[in-house]
Structures are given as C-alpha cells and as structure tokens.
Structure 1
Amino acid sequence: MTFSLSKTVVSLDGEQLYSFEYAALVTETSITVLQVYVELGIIEPIGSMLHSHAIARIAQIQRLRRDLGLNLVGAAMVLDMATEIAQLRAMVKMYQSHQEKPL
C-alpha cells in the first residue's frame, strides 16, 4: 500500500478534499477503520475523498475513545449532540437578537 499525501482535490464548493490515506495518516488510524466509519454513517465521504471537517470528526472520535474510553457509537453520539447544541444556541441567539430590535 502506498500513501499519496499530496492527493487532494477541490470540491465544487471550492473546498479541499483529502484522500483516505491522508486522513488515516493524520488521525493515526487506518484506512480500514475509516471504511468502517463510512459504513456506519459516522463520516460521509465525497466519492473517495473526505472534507476537512470529516477528518476533524475522525480525530475528535479518536480522542473521545482514547481519553474518555467511549465506544465508537458513543463518541459519534457525543459529537452529534455537541453539534446540535451549537446549532440550537445559534438559533436562540438569533431569536433573542430579533426580539431586542424595536419594531
């Protein structure tokens, strides 16, 4: 197996996409583990490539598993809940800012 660290492409949105090999290297995991993450719906590839936010998610999952002893599903649930909480906080903040404006 060879690693192609320079294998990046640009998505239609203008964001860089990275190979599974690169993601495995920077997250200190394996391509097989990443494929399991895809099969379980924990990360979503773009074809055979990954967004940087997917790579960040992999790193966060690895950290939750290592530092807190969470299993894979538990770590993914923690990240999903954290994302949902952040979205709800943003919605509350937007709602509050609209309520403070005079009519």
Structure 2
Amino acid sequence: METAIKPPIQLTPAAVAELTKLLQGAVEAPFLRLGVKGGGCSSGTSYMLGFDARMADDDLFDVAGIPVIIKKAHGMYLMGMEVDFQDTPDARGFIFRAPAV
C-alpha cells in the first residue's frame, strides 16, 4: 500500500477481527472509509464507518492489515481516535473513542 504517513487512527484487535470478517464477505469496495459528519452547534461531530471506493482526495493507510481511506480534510478530526468493536448482550457495533486529553 502506498502509505507514507502514520495513520491518524488505531484499530483494536476486536475491530480488526470483525473488519477482516466483513472484508472477506460480499463487499463491493475493498476500502474501509472512516470520516466525520459535522453537526449543528449543539449536536457536535458524528463519526462514520463504511466500505467505499478510493477517491482522489483520500489518504490511504494500512492499519493492522486493513486498507483504510480517509478524506484529507477529515484526518485532523480523527487524529488519535481508536476504533473498537463491541459485542455484548447490550450492544453490538463499532465504537469511536476519543484520545485521552
């Protein structure tokens, strides 16, 4: 992969395991896209995760063997984030954790 800079995010072993399973399935695009959606003044920022095709304004990273794409403009908002996968009786899904300040 053509990555020259350190990825702004980390994937936990649980996230890597789940993403590896998903990538082996019927995924149309082979890249994991991470990004942000801006909210209004009171709603803050939302994080997004999905599979997508690479575009010209994306940075490409190899994070624990997972091909990750992030829009160049989103990298600063994702800096230091950790993506985890939770599978408990109460919740199942990916979780974004902000870096400790």
**Greater helix share, structure number:** 1
Regarding TM over 0.5, the answer is no
TM-score normalised by length of structure 2: 0.29
TM-score of the superposition, structure 1-length normalised?
A: 0.29
> Max radius of gyration: which structure?
1
Between Structure 1 and Structure 2, the one with more strand by share is 2
